A and B are shown apart, each in its own frame.
Chain A
Amino acid sequence: MRLIDAAIGAADGTAGKPACESSSAPELKELVTEATRALARLDVARLEELALSCEALTRIPPPKTDQEREGFVRQARAARSDMAVFARVLEATRSNLKVMERLRDLRLGETEYRERPGSRRGWGRKDP
């Protein structure tokens, strides 16, 4: 796991910093990085927490003052490159999932129709 943490840390410049602890209020960039890290580790619990956090974020009304708006835009710009990394990890996960699903299907088929060497049963059986 250290390898992937180092890779993500190097990608977003937070190497050596605990996730979401570099400032008092986590910014969008940190949320994205944390989601990437959790996905790489297949940390379901953390991903579900993050999903709830993001859902809460979507319910927050849009910023009203110029200052709030500028802050929001700045955060979004800062998070853009990390979103690209997140997208790539998500894509890699999707490919891995496809491979695993195909393997599962293959193995299920194998369980049903498997013919072991010397076996007298199975789909290829020839009655004496």
Chain B
Amino acid sequence: MGTINSAFGLISGALDADQSALSVVANNVANANTAGYTEEKPDWQENSPITVNGITIGEGVTETGATSQRDRVLEQRLDQQQQLSSASSARLSALNQMQALFTPDSGSTGSKAGDIGSDITSFFDAFSSLESDPTDNALRESVLSAASTLAGDISGTATSLNSQRSAIDQEAAGIAGQVNSLTSSLASLNQQIESTSPDADAGTLEDERQQDLSQLSQLIGINEVTTENNGLEVTTTSGQLLVSDSQSYQLTTGAVDGVTDFLLGGNDITAGLTTGGGELGGYLTARDQDIPNALSSLDQLAYSISTSVNAANNTGTDLDGVTGTVANPLYIFNEPAQVAGSAAAMTVTMTDPNQIAAAAAGAGTGDNSNAIAIANFASQQIVNGQTPTDYYSNFVTTLGSTVSEVQSENTAQTASVTQLQTQNNALSSVNLNDEAAAMSTLETSYQAAAQVFTMLNTIISSALNLGVETAVS
């Protein structure tokens, strides 16, 4: 009887186990459309064997629970790529706005930041025109008008860049609150997971934690370390602790030099967050690197043009026969004391066109040699070893290259995130595609793409070689 009872027990145990497994499958189907839900698979545990007359007989299996089909390594890789992608997206958005400022608008007749290149040419051309008749009032008015347009466009652009910087600063500051909300949630989930599932997958709690990590990765650069009892430690990429098991550490902000700095436990971690990734990293790179670089270039341009033109005008003789002095200088532009801030402050201070010193010192008022000297600045290396137009043109080209570079990075990172999401979906989500098929797709895609790349590279290289003249001996 004992044997028959054991056999019944074995069969009913198997049926119970199947029933439990069916419940897990039903749960998967019910949650197929739940965001962040991870497929669960039943865990089977061997029952203790029965020994009859020295012969050991298996006792079947029992369904002991469900394990989510997640892979933390893949999820972490996805989080890391998401951080890079979010950072480049945020930076690219800021760079595109900046680039739009410097794009010439051929259809517009009004002053525009994008016209600085042509403004520089027009200003020095106005001096060239004055050479023909240095006493002509209309030509003198034209010089001051061109100077006003140039100064207005440079200072307007600097103002726009400063406004953009302030707007980005506000966006960045707002992220701190979102980060704090997520780290608090992570600490709470850690506590629940550690108390309910210290040595097993925590199912939906784990899903919620992963969703929080994913959102946090879009905001800032983080590192994740699994701790004892299924806990999790989260740090910034530069190592500052954000979450340690059930404890979260709040990010605070403070104004330093007119912008928001980020503090954790009293330490300023802004620099680490800038290079760390996530939206915040992208915004901070634009705020602390891209925009200041552009402003610095404009400052240099404004400073060099203003000081060179002012100095030359001050040494000449104006239409009233006056030469500038230290006490009463003949300055066209306001004289900047230093490079920093020159662009925003650039303006035309001269109001009387007669004060334009077209004549050389000591020469008659009909002389034009000083006007020629100032007009020649257009082709002289007065801005950091370059002519004004070359300097401005190189600056715009460098900005364009940076935009292009970040665009390429962003495209590759977005593609990488898309691919990883596909792989993760195949593994973690309720999906009929199995992992092997997803892996095979990735492998085959890579191989086919590598083949396409090699062939295209060969075609393009040979085409470019056709354009190169080769010497025939």
Contacts and interface: CB of A to CB of B under 8 A. Distances in A.
Interface string B449-462: 11111011111101
Interface string B214-247: 0000000000000000000000000000000000
A97 B463 contact: no
A11 B408 CA distance: 6
Contacts of B455: 51, 54-55, 57-58
A117 to B, nearest CB: 6
A36 B412 CA distance: 9
A54 to B, nearest CB: 4
A100 B442 contact: yes
Contact of A89 (B412, B420, B459, B463): B412
Majority SS at the chain A contact face = helix
Interface in A33-74: 35-36, 38-44, 47-48, 50-51, 54-55, 57-58, 62-63, 69, 72-73
Nearest to A117: B199
Given A7-B411, A11-B408, A54-B456, A42 B419 contact: yes
Interface stretch (B70-78, B170-178, B259-267): B70-78
A81 B404 contact: yes
A39 B445 contact: yes
Nearest to A91: B412
A39 B415 contact: yes
A8 B73 CA distance: 28
B157 interface: no
A10 B407 contact: yes
- From A80, A90, A94, A107, name the one whose CB has the most chain B CB atoms within 10 angstroms: A90
A1 B385 CA distance: 48
B416 interface: yes
Nearest to A29: B460
A79 B460 contact: yes
A90 B411 CA distance: 11
A94 B446 contact: yes
B414 A44 contact: no
A115 B422 CA distance: 29
Contacts of B441: 42, 44
B452 A54 contact: yes
A116 B463 contact: no
Nearest to A78: B460
A118 interface: yes
Interface of B is mostly: helix
A8 to B, nearest CB: 6
* Interface size class, chain B: 35 or more
Interface string B434-473: 0100010111111011111101111110111011000000
Contact of B443 (A10, A43, A75, A97): A97
B7 interface: no
A55 B442 CA distance: 22
B288 interface: no
A118 B460 contact: no
B418 A97 contact: no
Interface in A81-120: 81, 83-97, 99-100, 102-104, 106-107, 116-120
A3 interface: yes
B419 A99 contact: no
B46 interface: yes
A120 B263 CA distance: 51
Given A42-B422, A88-B409, A92-B413, A28 B442 contact: no
Contacts of B315: none
Contacts of A63: 466
A81 B443 CA distance: 26
Contacts of A4: 411, 414-415, 418
B453 A50 contact: no
Contact of B448 (A44, A79, A97, A106): A44
Contacts of A54: 451-452, 455-456, 459
A11 B74 CA distance: 27
Contacts of A88: 408-409, 411-412
A119 B45 contact: yes
A99 B77 contact: yes
25 contacts: A7-B415, A8-B415, A10-B407, A31-B456, A35-B449, A42-B419, A42-B445, A47-B449, A50-B452, A55-B455, A58-B455, A58-B458, A85-B412, A86-B453, A86-B456, A88-B409, A89-B449, A92-B412, A93-B416, A95-B416, A99-B74, A100-B423, A103-B71, A116-B45, A120-B48
Given A81-B408, A88-B412, 18 more contacts: A7-B407, A8-B415, A40-B419, A48-B448, A50-B448, A62-B466, A63-B466, A69-B466, A69-B467, A73-B466, A75-B463, A76-B460, A79-B456, A85-B412, A86-B456, A92-B413, A103-B71, A116-B45
Query: Nearest 10 pairs between A and B by C-beta?
Result: A76-B463, A40-B415, A88-B412, A47-B448, A92-B416, A54-B455, A73-B467, A39-B449, A7-B414, A42-B445
Interface of B: 43, 45-46, 48, 64, 71, 73-74, 77, 81, 199-200, 404, 407-416, 418-420, 422-423, 435, 439, 441-446, 448-453, 455-460, 462-464, 466-467
Interface of A: 1, 3-4, 7-8, 10-11, 28, 31-32, 35-36, 38-44, 47-48, 50-51, 54-55, 57-58, 62-63, 69, 72-73, 75-77, 79-81, 83-97, 99-100, 102-104, 106-107, 116-121
